[in-house]
Chain A
Amino acid sequence: MNMYFGKIEGNVHVIPFMALYMFYNSDFTAFSNIEAESSYRYSPITRPNSKGGQRFIGYRVEIKTYVPHTAYIDETAYGESMLERLNTLVQNRHDVQLLLGKRVNTLPAEHRGDSSNATEGLWVEFHRLLRMTYEIESVPFKPRLIITHSGIVPKINMS
């Protein structure tokens, strides 16, 4: 079947990075209302072949999620703090999902955040393939959490 991608009208959507979901040991951790600097990137890994070309091997993935929330040590809501949960996730491979734009959102209403002006939505999924680190840096008046996922995947998977 021939495919044409020329028509612009109705085919260019606003799909911002809305939320980071992580699943480990049947526990769910979500960060929504993340900062606009948050980003994800798939970079191809290639190696030269003997015909003068490049052989595609896979994708290097890096996801940076900038989190404005500062409730790092508060245990009142869930019985463990955000830092404890982050430490668990750092030490264990877990599933990662990114919510882009508007999709069916599994978060409680008060945690969904603004739907922004998204006109389309996507899920980006990674099955135990990424490792996570986090850092906390100071920005004016408050600390800021940066969660980084990185790894190598064979193909881009969106739904």
Chain B
Amino acid sequence: MSTIILRYSDTPLTSLTFSGTATEQYEFDPAINLPPVPVQELVQGKLLSGRRYSHILYTHLLFDFTISADELSDVIDITDTPDVMPASKAFIRDFILAKYKYISYPAGSNYIEVIKEGNGIEVTYIEDYIYLPEFRLQLITASPVDPTTLTNLALKPISMV
């Protein structure tokens, strides 16, 4: 399994258990799907004795993937005009704009609440052609990650999870 599922909601989910029947979710097979990276916040300093210390306050996981045009242009058909926005692309737009974001990584796993890193939307267009977009999404866990999840996900390619 190398796909992920993104889900969004206007209100916090009451349960993070995966639901295959949820409507506001979409399964993607990103062209670039990097192993999640642990991101730590530390308190560091030096004692009077000269000993250095580094306390881990929180550890989050950073998901970094790129959904390419092959996943976003599915309704551009020879019989359609390319002015119709594909459902997958419309979902990405709604996901980015939604208040609460979740990822099921890999697809079918329980949801993890995430927030988007940075303010902008990283979208590029292959060959500068507006119907071949690529979205790079960097999502970081909203809450600190427990040690079990860290062991299961951190730095593991999605196929090993």
Contacts and interface: CB of A to CB of B under 8 A. Distances in A.
Interface size class of A (residues with CB under 8 A): 20 to 34
Given A125-B78, A152-B132, A154-B76, A58 B32 contact: no
B78 A153 contact: yes
A7 interface: no
Q: Most chain-A CB neighbours within 10 Å: which of B68, B73, B78, B132?
A: B78
Contacts, number: 53
For the complex of A and B, 7 pairs with smallest distance between CB atoms:
A157-B78, A49-B31, A55-B31, A50-B32, A57-B69, A154-B76, A127-B78
Contacts of A125: 78
Instruction: Point out which of A51, A58, A154, A155 has the most chain B C-beta atoms below 10 A from its C-beta.
Output: A154
Contacts of B69: 57-58
Nearest to A159: B78
21 contacts: A45-B126, A47-B126, A47-B134, A49-B32, A50-B31, A55-B31, A55-B68, A57-B132, A125-B78, A126-B78, A127-B78, A127-B79, A127-B81, A128-B82, A152-B127, A152-B129, A153-B78, A154-B73, A154-B78, A155-B78, A157-B78
A24 interface: no
Contacts of B73: 58, 154
Nearest to B32: A50
A40 to B, nearest CB: 15
A56 B70 contact: yes
- Interface range, B side: 20 to 34
Q: Provide the main secondary structure of the chain B interface.
A: loop
Interface string B97-132: 000000000000000000000000000001101011
Interface of B: 2, 30-34, 68-70, 73, 76-82, 126-127, 129, 131-132, 134
Contacts of B134: 47
Interface string A103-119: 00000000000000000
Interface of A: 45, 47-51, 55-58, 60, 125-129, 152-155, 157
A116 B71 CA distance: 43
Contacts of B33: 50
Nearest to B71: A55
B131 A152 contact: yes
Nearest to B34: A50
B123 to A, nearest CB: 15
Of the candidates B32, B70, B131, the one having the most CB atoms from chain A within 10 angstroms of its own CB is: B70
A127 B33 CA distance: 34
